Amino acid sequence: MRTFGLIGFPLSHSFSKKFFSEKFTKEQITDCKYELLPIERADEMVELIAKRPSLCGLNVTIPHKLNVIPFLNEIDVAAKEIGAVNCISIQQKGKVPFLKGYNTDAYGFAESLKPLLEKQHQKALIFGDGGAAKAVKYVLKQLQIPYLVVVRNPVENAILYSAINEELLDEYKLLINTTPLGMLPNLNSYPVFPYQYLTPQHLVYDLVYNPEETVFLAKAKEQGAKIKNGLEMLYLQAERSWYIWNS
């Protein structure tokens, strides 16, 4: 039985477990199973893999997306540039497993964004500068879309929310939220800026997918902006993991 799993801590709820369990049932894949494998420290992964020779692939979530990197044999180009790994392929080469790290978030974001882009989406505002923003920045660079990072507290190479005005929103017509604002259970939180200056020319993307329409998206939709949540990105990155594990 080929085994796949999710490492992170804590693992109270998991999209991945539900997604792959349903996939295996629906597609009648009977020789695979997916497990939640909570580990507090990234170095515990080495022992985990050694004890489970049936493990063929792992998804990686908070807080280990950076911490697992030193324990990998190889890391793919995108994951290296992003500086975060959320998918690991495990290949048995002799007695020692060979571990290669990937970042499927970038793939999921890119493939869900590209069909929505129009000629006016030449510049982007990225809300937040945490881990999730890394994959977004990578994709925008690949698509040659210049961006500005927007944060709450002053940092280098970023602007504050208070700097967003009508003139800026007229220039930057792609807005991407990478913060957890608006995510369950904090449904009423959202990035604060003058939404009244959004127009039907704007594309507003929220990496949050639970709920499906955050306050951020609802306020943008009121102004006629095109909106997109992170659900398709999530499904695409999961399918990309499956592709990597089987290629």
pLDDT at 95 over 90: no
Can you tell me the mean pLDDT for 186-200? Answer: 97
Per-residue confidence (pLDDT) for residue 12, from 0 to 100? 79
pLDDT of residue 13: 73
SS3 5: strand
Percent of the chain exceeding pLDDT 70 equals: 100
Q: With cut-offs at 50, 70 and 90, classify the pLDDT of residue 243.
A: very high
What 8-state DSSP symbol labels residue 156? T
Which tens digit of pLDDT belongs to each residue from 119-162? Answer: 999 999 999 998 889 999 999 999 999 999 999 999 999 999 99
Residue among 42, 41, 2 at smallest CA distance from 20? 2
Q: Answer yes or no: 18 catalytic.
A: no
* The predicted structure's pLDDT at residue 62: 86
Q: Indicate whether this model's pTM tops 0.85.
A: yes
Q: Give the model's pLDDT for residue 160.
A: 98
At 182, list the tokens.
Answer: 């608006």
Q: Is the pLDDT of residue 93 over 80?
A: no
- pLDDT for position 129: 94
Extents of the domains making up the chain: 2-102, 106-233
Helix axes 104-113, 231-245, angle to 10 degrees: 130
Using 50, 70 and 90 to split pLDDT, how confident is the model at 220? very high
pLDDT at 94: 72
Structure tokens at 173: 């017509």
The model's pLDDT over 171-189, given as tens digits with 9 standing for 90+, comes to: 999 999 999 999 998 999 9
| Superfamily of chain region 2-102 | Leucine Dehydrogenase, chain A, domain 1 (3.40.50.10860)
Helices (H), 143-174: 166-171
- Check pLDDT > 80 for residue 210: yes
Tokens of 175: 């807005």
Domain 2-102 shares a fold with domain 106-233: yes
Residue 5 has pLDDT above 90, yes or no: yes
What is the share, in percent, of the chain residues with pLDDT greater than 90? 94
pLDDT for the residue numbered 92? 81
106-233 is classed CATH 3.40.50.1820: no
**Burial state string for 197-227 with b = 16 or more CB within 10 A and e = fewer than 16:** ebeeebbbbbbbbbeeebbbbebbeeeebbb
Check 65, 137, 173, 219 and give the catalytic one.
65
Arithmetic mean of pLDDT, 103-111: 97
Question: CB 144: neighbour CB atoms within 10 A?
Answer: 7
Find the mean pLDDT for residues 201-206: 98
> Quick one: which of 166, 167, 168 has its CA closest to 150?
168
